[in-house]
Structure 1
Amino acid sequence: MDFFDNHKNLFGAAFLLFLILTVFVALIPAVNNDKNNAPLPGQQALSDDAMAGKAIFVANGCVACHTQQVRNVDMDKKWGKRPSIAADYAVNKRTDLWRNTATLMGTERTGPDLTAVGTRQPSKEWNLVHLFNPRIVVKESIMPAYSWLFETKKEPSKQDVVVSVPAQYLDQEGSVVATKEALQLVAYLQSLVQTELPDGVAGRFLYKKEVKNNPESSNADNDAGLDGSALYATHCQACHQQNGEGLKGAFPPLKGSPVVLNENPELMLTIIMNGYDAREEFGVMPAVGKNAGLKPEEIAAIMNHERTSWGNSARKVSVSEVKKLMEAIQQLPNQ
């Protein structure tokens, strides 16, 4: 009983036990994990701007609504090409001697997962508009607007990055300009991509649901029974909008577009597969088809939706036609 009556012995033993537990429960497993989990070959470290953007991401509590982990269930397949593995997070290093870095895996998906958002949505223009006010590009969004990351100037300089914001979303005259912090946050979002596995195996998604083609489809070769409207909503609607009218000064309209209505769908398919950067009045379109790994059947369904919606009345393209055009595009130089 003398042990419990002596406060020095009691607190000394408690402190010793705490040290032992720290070593065996925290330090040794951490060192072991560091040895057994190395970054994947080809995995890129964050740039200085992306690192600063990550700190802004953390400071604004974005991790509360966005995860960065693709689970191995089929419902997560839209967030990445493969399930996440430990090596995906091994590139993270300590912020400094006293602070560890945040992996930002998250626990809640109030908003979409961001594991591969740099591939899904690499457009700087879209990300800046979305940060200024998410309702501009996604009307149903519940994400808060980060308008304090932007400034309004009557006469922007040549160095300023001007954001195309519709007049109805402005509360004062002038042009909206992205601050350094906004550009850094976008740099971090653009850096979020999945590194290819060395053996080329994409990983296995479990509990896959069987998708049945629509037997009542008027022409199975036209759309393969796929829902072009749903595919458009997933891959195109964020920029070109549900009504196909795009966003003035940022994203071109598909409604009445001569590219969409052209009898020859080659240019339209080329833009979907490889992106487009030849219009000064609009932002750069990413290579949606390549980035998302869209199959000919999916591309045909998207094209047919765009060519027959919002008053458009172009002929439908067939899956076989899309396949032939894709093969021809892949053989072109610099593609």
Structure 2
Amino acid sequence: MMDFFNDYRKLYLSALGLFVLLTILVAIMPAISNQNNNSPLPTEEALSDAALEGKAIYVANGCVACHTQQVRNLDMDKMWGKRPSIAADYADEERTDLWRNTATLMGTERTGPDLTDIGNRQPSAEWNLLHLYQPRAVVEESVMPAYQWLFEEKAELEEGDVEVPVPDAFRKGVIGKIVATKVALNLVAYLQSLKQAQLPEAIPAPEFLYKREAKTTATAGGGGDLGLDGAALYAANCQSCHQASGAGLKGAFPPLKGSQIVLDDNPEVLIDIVMNGYDARPEFASMPAIGTNMNLSAAEVAAIINHERSSWGNSARKVPVDEVQKIMDLLKQTAKK
């Protein structure tokens, strides 16, 4: 026995053998089992060529250091996705090559928000490009660095150029047009592709644990919105573009404060924009169909628009849920024709 402890060769080989054995048992065999027992969900969409390029850019720029792509089964994570993440969500991840593995990009820290479902939460290409160029232009308290090297300045736009609607306050001496490079466009294509796949009916969705008590106090603009928190819903779905002040961003996103569409006694146009989006180019960037993308109910839409109609000095009648539901049904019928 003493010979064993005195012979460094035996000690080294024993330690190496134990390490290899544990690696096989703890890491390799479970990984192979997961790979064999999980496959991508049938509703999972394959990444486009641009999105694949964008994924590599996402990795190269260290985005995984601040952003996760995992919705935990905790109620506090419900804001990041419709359901907790499951193994199948990561089953289509493949090695970049023999020596490199992109892993799952699940991340370990949320200095910034989780991006699992960002393609649904924030599908606007214009917003994403502006956010990359100068995050504080759209989120005042953001600590994210500005990725301005992904853009270039041009005196005149050329065919195919995508101009970024940067507000004057953030141009900092830039005289010409701010144009997104192909690298920036590919990165945004990847971000827009991040959408949580719907589970087949045969697979029950995991539950969120430690559910918090729902807030039932309506905002000042309640208006028969079943007590939903309109301010919170606005913050989650609208604030990143239209801002907490409702003032929007000049040249990028229109103001809701004093807006005739918001204040109109007939809320049909406002509800149509919330549900189906609107393209206001060239004055403003196009708005995605937030209501449809996020599957907002009539009660949630009522809470949002009533908050908008009663905030920032706005004063318009409260729209009841049943009126919102009738308009939403009418919009669906019109879309089918």
TM-score normalised per structure 1: 0.91
Deviation, structure 1 residue 284: 2.0
1:247: which partner in 2?
249
Instruction: Report 1:1-335 matches (<5 A).
Output: 11-171=12-172, 172-199=174-201, 201-214=204-217, 222-277=224-279, 279-334=281-336
CA–CA distance in structure 2, aligned partners of residues 38 and 130 of structure 1: 34
Q: Compared with structure 1, are the counterparts of its residues 13 and 242 closer, same or farther at alpha carbon in structure 2 (3 Å cutoff)?
A: closer
What amino acid is the match of 2:168? A
1:181-205 Cα deviation digits (max 9, x unpaired): 1111111110111101011744311
Q: Compared with structure 1, are the counterparts of its residues 218 and 116 closer, same or farther at alpha carbon in structure 2 (3 Å cutoff)?
A: closer
User: How many residues in Structure 1 have an aligned counterpart in Structure 2?
Assistant: 334
SS of 1:229 mapped into structure 2: helix
CA contact (8 A) 1:38 1:90 kept: yes
CA–CA distance in structure 1, aligned partners of residues 335 and 130 of structure 2: 34
What amino acid is the match of 1:244? G
Unaligned runs of 5+ in 2: none
305-314 or 75-84: which moved more? Answer: 305-314
CA–CA distance in structure 1, aligned partners of residues 208 and 283 of structure 2: 41
CA contact (8 A) 2:220 2:310 kept: no
Q: Compared with structure 1, are the counterparts of its residues 179 and 102 closer, same or farther at alpha carbon in structure 2 (3 Å cutoff)?
A: same
Unaligned runs of 5+ in 1: none
CA contact (8 A) 1:52 1:184 kept: yes
Q: Compared with structure 1, are the counterparts of its residues 33 and 321 closer, same or farther at alpha carbon in structure 2 (3 Å cutoff)?
A: same
What amino acid is the match of 2:214? V
Q: Compared with structure 1, are the counterparts of its residues 123 and 21 closer, same or farther at alpha carbon in structure 2 (3 Å cutoff)?
A: same
Q: Compared with structure 1, are the counterparts of its residues 221 and 325 closer, same or farther at alpha carbon in structure 2 (3 Å cutoff)?
A: same
CA contact (8 A) 1:65 1:110 kept: yes
CA–CA distance in structure 1, aligned partners of residues 23 and 311 of structure 2: 63
TM-score normalised per structure 2: 0.91
CA contact (8 A) 2:120 2:192 kept: yes
222-231 or 301-310: which moved more? Answer: 222-231
What amino acid is the match of 1:75? M
SS of 1:152 mapped into structure 2: strand
Identity %: 63
1:218-254 Cα deviation digits (max 9, x unpaired): 8975332233222212211111112222122221222
What amino acid is the match of 1:298? E
CA–CA distance in structure 1, aligned partners of residues 209 and 310 of structure 2: 35
SS of 2:178 mapped into structure 1: strand
Deviation, structure 1 residue 165: 0.6
Deviation, structure 1 residue 19: 4.1
CA contact (8 A) 1:254 1:306 kept: yes
CA contact (8 A) 1:81 1:202 kept: no
SS of 1:332 mapped into structure 2: helix
Deviation, structure 1 residue 79: 0.6
What amino acid is the match of 2:188? V
1:18-55 Cα deviation digits (max 9, x unpaired): 44444333332222111011111121222222122122
CA–CA distance in structure 2, aligned partners of residues 75 and 39 of structure 1: 26
Q: Aligned-residue CA RMSD in angstroms?
A: 2.3
SS of 2:114 mapped into structure 1: coil
What amino acid is the match of 1:207? Y
1:39-94 Cα deviation digits (max 9, x unpaired): 11121222222122122212222112111111111111111000000110111111
Deviation, structure 1 residue 97: 1.5
Deviation, structure 1 residue 4: 5.9
CA contact (8 A) 2:223 2:318 kept: no
1:139-174 Cα deviation digits (max 9, x unpaired): 111111111111111122122111011122113211
What amino acid is the match of 2:332? Q
Deviation, structure 1 residue 120: 0.1
